[in-house]
A and B are shown apart, each in its own frame.
Chain A
Amino acid sequence: MTEENKLASGNLSYMATVRAIVWKDLTMEWHTGQILSVMLVFSLTAAIIYNFALYGSLAAARDASTGFLWVTILLAGTLGLNRSLMAEQENRSLEAILMAPIDRSAIYVGKVISVIIFTLAMEAILVPIFTAFFNKPFWRPQVLFILILGTIGYVAAGVLITSMTVQTRTREVLLPVLLLPLTLPVVLAAAQVTAAYVAAVPPEWSEVQFAVSLVVAYDIFMVTAGFLTYHYVVEE
């Protein structure tokens, strides 16, 4: 289809729009490294503090390590979300995107994908560090799988909430106040599954099935909610 026909018929490819948003976010991060660096500095500092604070009681530290990992991901993710969405407010560049003849939900999907990429990149560095510090098998495929699933749900909710709060003057306060309670179900379930799979004896599927199902259901719910409501969020 020619460009004129594409524009005239409104038949712009949804996935091409999503790719454009992801390409833009990755290009900006390639130049500045701001999102990954802020997430990594925070998460590495947190990991070191946890490790040294509980140095005297290694057993307690190991028992709590799954909780530490998810708290670190949660808070570092909040920093990354804020930075990623703030970039759209500088020079009001989001308005230029909103004036393009695209389905606005594609902006949401694109932002979710790029923030997931940043968060997973941070987790790729964080997991070996937690494995080394706490001597727990965070590298197990089941653990990595639940980390990915939990990250999807958290970021899907995060992009939606951050898109609302980033337009307000009190965004630094509003984001954690709204996002952290909203993501509690997915984080609790994911942390429970993670803890089960880093135990000395891995669990039976039936033991974690409910929690995994909860994480998957949350992911589907949040992505669908964001997809359906994003255009209201960015509308004046």
Chain B
Amino acid sequence: MIKISGVTKKYGMNAVLRGVDLHVRPGEFVTLVGSNGAGKTTLLRIVATLMKQSDGELLVGGWSIPGDAEKVRRHIGMVSHQALLYGDMTAAENLDFFARLYQLDHRQERVAEALQMVGLLARQRDPVRSFSRGMLQRLTIARATLHEPDVLLLDEPYTGLDQEATRLLDDLLSRESEKGRTIFMITHDLARGLDLCQRIAILNRGRIARIVERQEVNAAEFLALYGDVTRSVKERKGAQG
């Protein structure tokens, strides 16, 4: 569904991504972890068509980015740690706006269904500005899935959530995964990242360092593996210094 081949991204002389290769199969939930500055957000923004890669090939649903970006956009939805919603509008108005943008039929029914799905129907007339972080994140999922995208991109979706909100978000993401949606999540939270996915990849210094099948490792083993990868990088740095 998502095929990333040799993708690089440079800002002047500084390379953030240095030839990333990753293949996310249809219906699969893949998590990409890495430390701050590893290039996770940059990679996700390229997949989301918000940014262009400097080099390499990127296909989503068989469509190439950036060449077929407009076609790719029909098939993706994105949940970020930023709400990407309008605080001055109500929850229903926000979803109605995106339903208008995607020109969905039966807008009102779709908006009501989406609000019901994330448990916010009773708050539909409240301004988004008054929502808690957890409610905002649930509304963000409703916004991102309103047009039934094949691919859901998640950018640190657990940032700032309390335990209850985290549990609700887990439930929502599990349901989205069960619907057969391809999910590609980036996070620096290893435990959360490991919990829901089928495969987990480690991005380090702009490259995919490891890709692991979830069922092949438990949490402790993965933490050790992650430590090895990052430690070996630190050691390399030390040796160079």
Contact = CB atoms under 8 A, between A and B. Distances in A.
Given A2-B105, A3-B105, A10-B74, A20 B97 contact: yes
A27 B96 CA distance: 11
B54 to A, nearest CB: 12
B89 A99 contact: no
Interface of B: 45, 48-52, 70-71, 73-74, 76-78, 80, 82-89, 93, 97-98, 100-105, 127, 143, 147
Given A7-B74, A101-B73, A96 B102 contact: no
A102 interface: yes
A13 B103 CA distance: 8
Given A95-B50, A101-B73, A101-B74, A19 B100 contact: yes
Interface band, chain A: 20 to 34
A24 B86 contact: yes
Contacts of B89: 24, 27-28, 31
B85 A96 contact: yes
A102 B71 CA distance: 10
A236 B100 CA distance: 25
Nearest to B82: A92
Given A28-B86, A93-B84, A7 B97 contact: no
A7 B102 contact: yes
Interface of A: 2-3, 6-8, 10, 12-13, 16-17, 19-20, 23-24, 27-28, 31-32, 87, 90-93, 95-103, 235-236
B87 A12 contact: no
Contacts of A2: 105
A235 B50 CA distance: 7
B50 to A, nearest CB: 6
B217 to A, nearest CB: 33
A91 B86 contact: yes
7 contacts: A10-B71, A19-B100, A31-B88, A96-B98, A99-B78, A100-B73, A236-B45
